[in-house]
A and B are shown apart, each in its own frame.
Chain A
Amino acid sequence: MLSSAGNILLTGSILFTFLIIYLSFQNLREKNFKIGKDLVYLSVFQITFIIASFILLTFGFVFSDFSLLAVYQNSHTSKPIFYKIAGVWGNHEGSLLLWINIMVIFSYLFLVFNNKSNKSYSLYTLLVQNILILGFLIFLISSSNPFFKILPVPLEGLGLNPILQDPALVIHPPLLYLGFVGSSIYFSAAMGAILSNIEGKNFASSIKTWVLISWSFQSLGIIFGSIWAYYELGWGGFWFWDPVENASLIPWFCMTALAHSVLVLEKRNYLYNWVLILSLITFISSVTGTFLVRSGILNSVHTFANDPSRGLYILIFLSLMIGFSFVIFIKRRISDKFYVEPLSKETFILSNNWFMMFYLATVFIGTVYPIFTQVLYDTKISVGPPFYNAVIAPVIIPFLIFMALGPKINWIKQKYDGLKSFILILILSCFINFLIFFFFKSYNFISNLIIISSLFLIIHSAKDFILKAKTKLHFNFSSFLSHIGFGFLIFFIILNHNFSKEFDLNIKVGETKKMGNMEIKFNNLKIEERENYNAVIGYFNIFDSEKKYQKRLNPEIRVYENPQTLTFESSIITNLKQDLYLTMSNLDGSEFYNIKFQIKPFMLWIWFAALLTASGGLVRIFIKK
């Protein structure tokens, strides 16, 4: 029943998408100035059908309709209702349907909110966006149909991967998808701009908000993902340069570069080609990342069921997308001719793009290089955190300095009169760094320089803010938030990186062991039955002999039956200064447990700084000048 209804809705969506493409072509030939009403109506139908199909699938999960393969494979009657709903996008089929939903919603919103633009530009954008939607819909229905039916209907489902059974599953994927898929609309707009030959300025002002929307959601999605990884995966870190993390970071670099360079195009009509390229590669890199992760070429926690035919389809689709956009871009044959003053806002924005492209290149090469060596030299190498830290860290230093100076510089030309404050702030930053170094000792040379430059960024931004507030001139508050937030982010990450402590030891019930100047006592072990798993809970006490405090930490080992899995839940005590982080795991055939105890300074501040950075984008969207 659900299955046929779902298939009808999907077929309907395909039909409407097809009609939109056809009518857009027709409409382009007609000589009136407005987009036909019929296109708007069709879009309303399209969005209604696709959202209805999503709601239907959600019902399938909530009422555990195991006649649907996707529900059978990823759900279970004993699963809490909360995870039944979130489980809709916790699998390949459902998440693809969510992906298409977002594409359609963006397509509709662009059509509605962008009605003042040039007609042929809007039509071409709609056309390209719907060709993309059609491509994904065909992919969905042919190889990953969420409404695929199985007979006979199983009595019970296989259950959702317990690692995914977490409140963060509700928020992390939708946020990230809004970022990833949100970039499709300016891919289409860039194609539309080339095909309709509109002016750079108009293109820039029409995509600006969309870039900010996807940038903000992408940032939030990445932040929530790393918070989730921090407490769930049980290793106490928040960033591992895992292929999936990299796949989300590459489009983020493009979006950040675009959010800056689009301003140059809007204000000065420079960089049209570059903005077009960035708009195109943002979505291309989003799809590529998804392909690499979903196809199982790169392995990680995000690898859902692998199926080579799916990989092949995305690969063909991707090649066509890249091929077509490349050909259309090359055919444009208009080159930008412009010059900028070395000391102008244009230069600083260009330098932002310069650094972004460096980070992008590093992350991209690092991610794909293992595939490359395996094919060419038959050696499988790993490119992990030590590589990225070593390559990227030194370049962060000038980047932060540029980031501090950029916002205050004028367009076109500026006489630099800030040398005095530059030196003063630099000295102050060095002094604070020296104090940190003096009191806490030992961190390496590069860390010193990064601390200095991040302090420089923080103090410089704060100074600009205070001075501008006095004069009550126009002040770019959103850029201030993002820049100072990023300064704090780097500052706390480096401190955390240098002053984290880790202890790894084996212990049995009743024992007390020393860890530096602390002691840990394994008091007790209990087994508890919970809603859909059994928990083995360890009761630990931590004593600090110097500061005379005592903390209780209760990490768990969870034993799930459907599917049979063990997960290791960390126990974390958070305060403003530091996190205490404890995980335990059983050692086979022994009464000992392996525990990992970590002291991670300033974790709360890292999250706060990251959210501050992301909030800049949201502020700009909602508060217009």
Chain B
Amino acid sequence: MKNNFLIILICLFSFELSANENISLETKIFKNLRCIICQGQSIAESNSDFAQTIKIVVRDKIGQGENEKEIYEFLSEKYGEWIIYRPKFNFVNSFLWFSPYIVLLLGGLLIFKYFRKRKQ
């Protein structure tokens, strides 16, 4: 067994990945924005002129020292919430965010109901 672990470890070591430059703020924002003239692509992925324009806007805003949230607010005011891939945490979207976990909870309770009661 020990030999196997060693092999696994050596394999892992040999990949010289370094994640010190993680995905930059810029890319993170591009990925969270929809290219609204394309079909199901984000700004990061799209080759359209619209995407190029948005990239310039976002880079400018980052340059001016605005944070992620301010940039999203600016863009969603201009183009609507449609442009942002991560739905906001608000009243309208509360059902969206919570209902999966309600399903999870109910499912768990249902399975629990079928457990044999430990009486004897």
Q: Interface on A for B, CB 8 Å cutoff?
A: 233-237, 240, 242-244, 299-301, 303, 338-342, 347, 350-351, 354, 357-358, 361-362, 365-366, 369, 373, 377, 379-387, 390-391, 395, 428, 432, 435-436, 439-443, 495, 498-502, 504, 516, 547, 568, 577-578, 583, 585, 587-588, 594, 596, 601
Assembly CA distance A301 to B104 (angstroms)? 32
The residues of B that contact A568 with a CB separation of less than 8 Å are 47
Question: CB-CB < 8 A to B65: which residues of A?
Answer: none
Does the CB pair B20–A379 fall under 8 Å?
Answer: no
- Known interface pairs A382-B85, A387-B87; 14 further A-B residue pairs with C-beta atoms within 8 A, sorted by A's residue number: A233-B45, A234-B45, A339-B115, A341-B116, A354-B107, A358-B103, A361-B104, A369-B96, A373-B93, A379-B81, A501-B21, A504-B55, A577-B15, A594-B52
Given contacts A341-B116, A384-B34, A504-B55, A365 and B96 within 8 Å (CB-CB): yes
Chain B residues with CB below 8 A from A588, complex form = 49
In the complex, chain B residues 1-51 whose Cβ is within 8 Å of any chain A Cβ: 5, 8-9, 12-13, 15-23, 26-27, 30-32, 34, 39-42, 44-47, 49
Q: Find chain B residues with CB under 8 A from A596 CB.
A: 44
In Å, the complex CA distance between A380 and B81 comes to 6
Q: Which of A347, A383, A501 has the most CB of B within 10 A?
A: A501
Interface presence of B108 (CB below 8 A):
yes
What CA separation (Å) do A366 and B96 show in the bound complex? 7
Minimal Cβ-Cβ distance residue in A for B36: A382
Residue from B17, B88, B97 in contact with A499 in the complex, judged by beta carbons closer than 8 Å: B17
Docked CA distance A319–B118 (Å): 45
B18 touches A500 (CB 8 A): no
- CA distance in complex: A428, B8 (Å): 11
Q: Are the C-beta atoms of A338 and B81 separated by less than 8 Å?
A: no
Closest 5 pairs between A and B when the two form their complex, measured CB to CB: A384-B85, A235-B45, A585-B47, A386-B86, A339-B116
* Residue ID in chain B nearest A501 by CB atoms: B21
**A383 and B87 in contact, given A442-B22, A499-B17, A502-B44 (Cβ under 8 angstroms):** yes
Contact of B19 among A338, A442, A577 (CB under 8 A): A442
Query: Measured between alpha carbons, how far is A547 from B109 in the docked complex, in Å?
Result: 55
Contact B84 A435 (CB under 8 A): no
Interface magnitude class on chain B: 35 or more
Which residues on the A side are within 8 Å of B12 (C-beta)?
A: 432, 435-436, 439
A358 to chain B, nearest CB (A): 5
- Residues on B with beta carbons closer than 8 Å to the beta carbon of A243: 40
Q: Chain A residues near B44 (CB, 8 Å)?
A: 235, 502, 504, 596
In the complex, chain A residues whose CB is within 8 Å of the CB of B81: 379-382
Give the distance to chain B from A566, nearest Cβ to Cβ, in Å: 8
What residues of chain A lie closer than 8 Å to B19, measured between beta carbons?
A: 440-443, 498-499
Chain B contacts of A547 at CB under 8 A? 16
Chain B residues in 8 Å Cβ range of A428:
5
Contact flag A387-B45 (CB < 8 Å), given A358-B100, A379-B80, A380-B80: no
Contact B42 A384 (CB under 8 A): yes
Note all chain B residues with C-beta closer than 8 A to A354: 104, 107-108, 111
